[in-house]
Amino acid sequence: MDRKRNVGLTEHIEGKASAGYTVFSSFGERKTRMVDLDGRLVHSWDLPETAGLWAQLLESGNLLVAISTGKSTLGGEGGGGGAVLELDWDGNEVWRYDDDEQHHDFSRCPNGNTMILGRELVPSELTGAVQGGFPGSEPSQGILGDYFHEVTPAGEVVWEWHTHEGLDFAEDTICPLHDRREWTHANACTVLPDGNVLTSFRLLNTIGIVDRTTGTFSWKHRDMALGHQHDPTLLENGNILVFANGFHVPGPSGSVIFEIDPRTDETVWEYRTKPPWEFSSYFISGAQRLPNGNTLICEGMTGRLFEVTMDSEVVWEYVNPFFGEHPRHGYVNSLFRARRYAPDFRGLAGRTLTAEA
């Protein structure tokens, strides 16, 4: 069977799709790519190791990207990383921060520092306080939690936050359908303009904003309907966009994109399909609100990127044609996350973007 059927650009309705260039890193590959709306490769960066899930373009035109170093001693369920690099447009390394337990996410702060997400063991004296999951399924080493480290360009940690200090053991419980290897399995650490951190705890079906001054949550939203969610983002209207994976949700289910008003905790917009399994990725994945009001969706498991209007019309679709060998998943074109950058994005100023051979 040819697993590369129907890849590349499969839909583009001109005038309805939001202009720009989409950046992504494939599982199992040492490369980050940028494609235009016609699905043409217009730029790429070679990485020294396998991509650590995703990359973001900075306003300088440099690329902030994680790589998988394989040096973690704690394990955990996916999210490979170990180092965060800043590369210039030509792929030269201009900054690097090594943390063997870094995983999933990172974020450049407004002050020029970088937020790092990492794993650590919950202190042994607190392991018994972690609730939920299959009883007795925790490994002998203990249960994994997460931390945020804000590091300076010189690599100094100037702020930190730990799940075992900031979460509520009675309230923040592991999904009952999961084991107890990990408590939280954070997969996001987006630094907001005010310096606070928007995060997602996959095994808790919880997203929230950590106040960096107090270490407490200024907002926290727990809902089984999130289905082990990914990629919460703050919109200009103050709402939160999130990819609800639909994993461990009762009944026939697929994935859903929710726009949540944090002032009321109500869903004000959503994207879903009928039948629900036509749109489904039970892990990884993400969503981005675009300048024209459309939403770019990364259906990560299948490497499918597509853009929908507020009326749920699909106006652009691109299926990742780049496959890599992943140690856990095999030969896949999966994508953790993708981001589109408008033609007037500062980091693209003066850059030559032409289709590569």
Instruction: Tell me the per-residue pLDDT of 29-45, one tens digit each, with 9 for 90 and over.
Output: 999 999 999 999 999 99
Its sign, for the CA torsion 101, 335, 22, 87, is: positive
Burial of 334 (0-12, 13-18, 19+ CB in 10 A): buried
Model confidence at 1: pLDDT above 60: no
Give the model confidence (pLDDT) of 293-334 as tens digits: 999 999 999 999 999 999 999 999 999 999 988 878 888 999
Q: What is the pLDDT of residue 251?
A: 80
Model confidence at 101: pLDDT above 70: yes
Q: What is the pLDDT of residue 10?
A: 97
Its sign, for the CA torsion 140, 182, 159, 99, is: positive
Model confidence at 168: pLDDT above 50: yes
For the chain, percent of residues with pLDDT exceeding 70: 98
User: Where does the pLDDT of residue 5 fall: very low under 50, low under 70, confident under 90, or very high at 90 and above?
Assistant: low
User: Where does the pLDDT of residue 162 fall: very low under 50, low under 70, confident under 90, or very high at 90 and above?
Assistant: very high
| Residue 146 bridge partners (DSSP) | 119
User: Where does the pLDDT of residue 2 fall: very low under 50, low under 70, confident under 90, or very high at 90 and above?
Assistant: very low
Domains contained in the chain, CATH given: 21-125+138-348 (2.120.10.30)
